[in-house]
Every structure is written in C-alpha cells, then in structure tokens.
Amino acid sequence: MGTRLSDEALDVLFRDARTFRTWLDKPVTDDILREIYELMKWGPTSTNCCPARILFLRTKESKERLRPALAPGNVENTMNAPVTAIVATDMQFYEHLPKLVPYNPQAKNLFVDSPDLAEATARRNGTLQGAYFMLAARALGLDCGPMSGFDNSKVDREFFGAGLERDGVSQEYSPGRLESNFLCNIGYGDPSGLKPRLPRLDFEEASKLL
C-alpha cells in the first residue's frame, strides 16, 4: 500500500504508452483477456457499482459484425487488431448491488427510485472502469488503441439488442440496458506505424493549487 512504482513501470503505463493503429501478428490469448478483467475489476467505483461490461471480439466473424458501425478511418486498424473490446455500460447496474454491496440491502432502491442518478452513476463509473481496463492491459504487456469513431446505436443493436452470451450462458439483458461507451483495440502494437507524439497541456495550464 502506498508504494511508489518504478520509473520503468510508470513509463509503461503512461509516459511511453501510445495509441496504436498497427499491430504485430502475435495472438492475444483468452487467458490474458481474463487477466485484464481480473485486474481492472479492483479499480474503485462509487457504491462499488461496477457498471462496465466488456465484450471481446476475437474472431473474424465477430469483427465483421462490427465493421458496418465503424468510421471509415477505423476499419483497417480494427480488422487487423488481434482483439477489439467493446467497453459498454450496464445502465441497470443496480440489479447487481445486492451482491456488490451486501452490507446495504437498500442500495439498489436508491437508484431504482432515481433514474437520473442511476444514469449519471453508470456513465461516470463505466468510463472510469474503461480507463482501468486500458491500464490493466498495458500492465500485462499489451498495447491499446482506444477510439470513439463508430456508431454507438449500430453497435448496441448488433451486439446487445438480444442480450449477451458469455461462456455459453445467455445473460438476460433487456434491449437498451447495455450501451457501448468506446471501443479499444488491444494486442501487441507495431511501433513502425506510430506518428510523432502530440503535446499535452502543462501543469499550469490544466491545474491549480488552492
């Protein structure tokens, strides 16, 4: 607890991490995809709500289902990526709160009775978990290519319109319950395809000490 990471680790997670659009021909195993989730799930969310849902597209067939929703500039890099993750949000995350917050049996009702609070909580914390997802992938030696250039409604209809199947078991999600947030290609990036890194704002431009 409270141990500072090495500069090498910080480079991997932040300073040297890049958004990749070209990929080495090196497979990503199902085991490492599970490892990503097993790491990211420990990132904090309010009320331990854990609203993110990840759909890993690993096959040519699943990628082809995604193709019509992609912006033209994102087709090639996505089709060539070993895996594309649809980072989605369960808008009815509160159905799982009896398991996630066992000490507070009334936690679910807080969100059932306040749809606006439920939506804001789902979107904020689902996005937080998406960031944890990328950090977990990088920590395990993978590279990421996050993107928002796609049609969310097409993705949601194609992949979430009739529920979601995991490990051969159908998860009962009503249409509209799962909403795509962003896509993230993952694999082993080909550095030859990188462009010069863009600048960032300095501390004084983005922060203030009070």
d(CA 89, CA 127): 8
- In the chain, % of residues over pLDDT 70: 94
Q: What is the DSSP letter of 136?
A: H
Is the pLDDT reported for residue 176 higher than 90? no
- Bridge partners of residue 87, in order along the sequence: 54, 182
Indicate the domain borders of the chain.
23-187
Is the pLDDT reported for residue 174 higher than 90? no
C-alpha to C-alpha distances, 173 to 100, 154, 156, 183, nearest whole angstrom: 18, 17, 12, 20
Q: What is the DSSP letter of 141?
A: T
Structure confidence at residue 164 (pLDDT): 59
Contacts of 82 (CB under 8 A, 6+ apart): 23, 26, 27, 28, 58, 186, 187, 188
CATH architecture of 23-187: 3-Layer(aba) Sandwich (3.40)
Summarize pLDDT for 2-44 with one digit per residue, the tens. Answer: 899 999 999 999 999 999 999 999 999 999 999 999 999 999 9
Give start and end residues of each alpha helix (H) in 73-202: 75-80, 97-100, 107-112, 115-139, 152-155
pLDDT top residue among 171 and 155: 155
d(CA 56, CA 82): 10
d(CA 26, CA 95): 38
Structure confidence at residue 28 (pLDDT): 98
Summarize pLDDT for 97-155 with one digit per residue, the tens. Answer: 999 999 999 999 999 999 999 999 999 999 999 999 999 999 999 999 999 999 999 99
